[in-house]
Amino acid sequence: MSEPGQPSRTSSPVHSRASSRGFSRLRLYGHAVAIQLASQLEYRSSFWLMLLGQVLTSFGALLGVWFMMERFHSVAGFTQADVLLCFASVLMAFSLAETFFRGFDQFPALLADGRFDRMLLRPAPLILQVLTGTIEFTRFGRLVQGFIVFCWALPRVAVVWTPGHVAVLALMLLMNTFVFACLFVLYAGICFFTIEGLEFMNIFTDGGREFGAYPYAIYGKRVLQILTCLVPLALVQYYPLLWLTGRSTSILHALAPLGALFFILPTALVWRLGLRRYRSTGS
Amino acid sequence: MSSPDRTGSLAVYRQIFRIRLAGGLQYRVAALAGLATQFAWGFMKLLMYRAFLEANPAAFPMTPAAIAAYVWLQQGLLMLLFPWFLDHQIFAGIRSGQLAVELLRPWDLYTSWFVANIGRRLAATVLRALPLFAVAVCLPPGWRLGPPVSAVAGLSFAFSLILTLLLVTAFTMFVYIASLRALSPLGARTLLLGFSDFLTGGIIPIPFMSPGLQRLLGLTPFASMQDVPLRLWSGDIPLAEIPVTLARQAFWLVVLVALGWLWMRRALRAIVLQGG
């Protein structure tokens, strides 16, 4: 596993590929998704219980936000509906990322039991293999819950909805999922160096879900700066929310989620450096 | 002739030392990372409460010092206070049939599981709590974990922390017993633990909930868990209410242990051992 040629061979084909190959990979991915879904539905009662469990646990978080807003009515100028819209969009993005990028979230286990070493030997793109290894459909429980809250909050936010608003909302959701997905990959990339999971990343993944329930500005200027420049969680949450709720008319705020695209750079860098340096765990 | 040999073995020792050191440091990094995570988590929570305090000071049901103590004590004592810290060996034992061996042992299964859980919780807490508290007491006023508000508060905190540990463990015993009956422990775990985070004050302290819900929770064992010690420390539970509060904790402890013990006896009478 330590031959220098191997990791670089497996990491390179992600780029520079013909579009037909890209298309066939997409089909491969779709196929894997279908297989995973079918296999998870085999244990049907267990599947529904897990799904229910996901709903119940994040329902506690929802109740927390709900009772805080019932008591205080507004925080940092945001109303209950604004906050719940924020809560719902972050929860939906997180559960989408968690469903489809679960393989990266469980990366220490992949490294520890040698599954990753087997992946390195297969003639298929590494990222695709990690992605398709685990897809957790039970995490959809949270998605459904987020969607219900979303539907509750949308008509209550003081906004006249235009196609532009819908587009920004969709962009916010999509890019928020993207940032969470990048965080999972980043976490996996760091695992190459530490082998064990680095717990500190939780503050951005689980913490991003927990604390992202409120617009990040309520945590003060310093936190907002960190979440704007370092880990762009605020770019996909606070700034577009300002524009959506009519607190800002700047197009920069509306398009801020696009800025989060740059987060792919450090993510890819850490992943590649880690992969180049990886020499099995020996088990 | 012996000199290359000696330098050779020296090199080996040096290598062993380096490997051990690196190994130890790996874990130290992990421990530090865990500590830093809980710190950042606690800070974010406090920043959140600060924002609500500024939004509407009249509606804030605790003092800033009390909420700071609540958050830091909770972060440090996570493994002691939360029902989700379960012993997965017990579930594995039920699945694999190892339970049969447990049943042959000349002691009570309920008591042995109970004691094992307490041991696990204490061990996990000591590693985390002490370094966290050591730093939390040094923070600026309003953010720090101050000393207990009085000697009585401190003593009753310690006493009620023990009661809470026993009570939470007694509650989780229901999860274990329920999974004696069904092969998949997931259902029991889901239903029993799903709401307990919120109901015990793990997400927001109970005083932040609506008055109606607070009254309702007062009738359940949930309000006698982490809420009590975390608020006793800062004097958020007034002196006059301390005896009643502690008595209520003790009452629920007796009830849950009695119910759990009886339920386990019934469950074991009809047990079907798994595995083979």
Q: What would the DSSP string read from start to end of chain A? A: ---THHHHHHHGGGSS--HHHHHHHHHHHHHHHHHHHHHHHHSHHHHHHHHHHHHHHHHHHHHHHHHHHHHHSEETTEEHHHHHHHHHHHHHHHHHHHHHSHHHHTHHHHHHTTHHHHHHHSSS-HHHHHHHH---GGGHHHHHHHHHHHHHHGGGSS----HHHHHHHHHHHHHHHHHHHHHHHHHHHHHHHHSS--GGGGGTTHHHHHHTTS-GGGG-HHHHHIIIIISTTTTTTHHHHHHHTTS---HHHHTHHHHGGGGHHHHHHHHHHHHHH------
Query: Regarding predicted confidence, which is higher, B71 or A129?
Result: B71
The answer to whether the Cβ–Cβ distance between B59 and A71 falls below 8 Å is yes
Q: Which residues on chain A are in Cβ contact (under 8 Å) with B29?
A: 194
Q: Return phi, psi of residue A78, to 5°.
A: -95, 135
Residue A178 forms part of a structural domain: yes
Residue A282 forms part of a structural domain: no
Per-residue pLDDT, A52: 81
The answer to whether the Cβ–Cβ distance between B48 and A71 falls below 8 Å is no
Domain region containing A153? 5-277
Per-residue pLDDT, B189: 76
Query: What are A91-106's pLDDT values in tens digits?
Result: 999 999 988 888 888 8
The answer to whether the Cβ–Cβ distance between B186 and A53 falls below 8 Å is yes
Residue A11 — pLDDT band, cuts 50, 70, 90?
very low
Residue A35 forms part of a structural domain: yes
Query: What are B58-111's pLDDT values in tens digits?
Result: 999 999 999 999 999 999 998 899 998 888 888 888 878 888 888 887 778 888
Partnered with residue A74 across adjacent β-strands are A79
Residue tagged 């330590």 (tokens)? A2
Residue A20 forms part of a structural domain: yes
Helix axes of A80-100 and A140-153: crossing angle, nearest 10 degrees? 160
Q: Which residues on chain B are in Cβ contact (under 8 Å) with A53?
A: 186, 189-190, 194
Q: What are the sequence ranges of the domains in chain B?
A: 1-60, 64-269
Query: What are B21-58's pLDDT values in tens digits?
Result: 666 565 666 677 778 888 999 999 999 999 999 999 99
Residue A218 forms part of a structural domain: yes
The answer to whether the Cβ–Cβ distance between B198 and A199 falls below 8 Å is no
Residue A283 forms part of a structural domain: no
Per-residue pLDDT, B276: 52
Q: In angstroms, rounded to a whole number, what is the distance separating the alpha carbons of residues A12 and A9? A: 6
ipTM: 0.84
Residue B193 — pLDDT band, cuts 50, 70, 90?
confident
Percent of the residues in chain B that have a pLDDT greater than 70, as a whole number: 87
Q: Domain count of chain A?
A: 1
Query: What are A154-165's pLDDT values in tens digits?
Result: 889 888 889 999
